[in-house]
C-alpha cells in the first residue's frame, strides 16, 4: 500500500505541518486525515468532535522500502 505525505498549514501553527498516511490513493489518504474537499476547504479531524480549518499545501506519494 502506498504512503502519502500531506503538507498543510493551520492558522494556529504558522510554520506548517506534515503527516504520513497509508492509503490506496490520494483521495483515500485525505479522507483518513481530514473532512471536506478542495472546493469547500478541508477541516482537520480532532478528538472530541472538534475540527480545525487547514490549507493543504502538497500531497505526494512517498517511496517506502
pLDDT digits (tens, 9 = 90+) for 34-60: 999 889 999 988 878 788 899 999 999
Q: What is the model's pLDDT at position 48? A: 81
**What does the DSSP assignment read for 10-38?**
ETTEEEEEEEEEE-SSHHHHHHHHEEEET
- What are the boundaries of each domain within the chain? 3-62
pLDDT tens-place string over residues 7-21: 999 988 878 899 999
Amino acid at each position: 500500500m502506498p504512503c502519502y505525505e500531506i503538507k498543510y498549514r493551520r492558522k494556529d501553527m504558522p510554520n506548517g505541518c506534515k503527516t504520513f498516511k497509508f492509503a490506496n490513493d490520494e483521495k483515500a489518504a485525505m479522507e483518513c486525515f481530514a473532512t471536506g474537499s478542495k472546493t469547500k476547504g478541508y477541516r482537520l479531524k480532532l478528538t472530541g468532535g472538534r475540527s480545525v480549518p487547514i490549507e493543504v499545501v502538497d500531497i505526494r506519494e512517498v517511496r517506502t522500502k
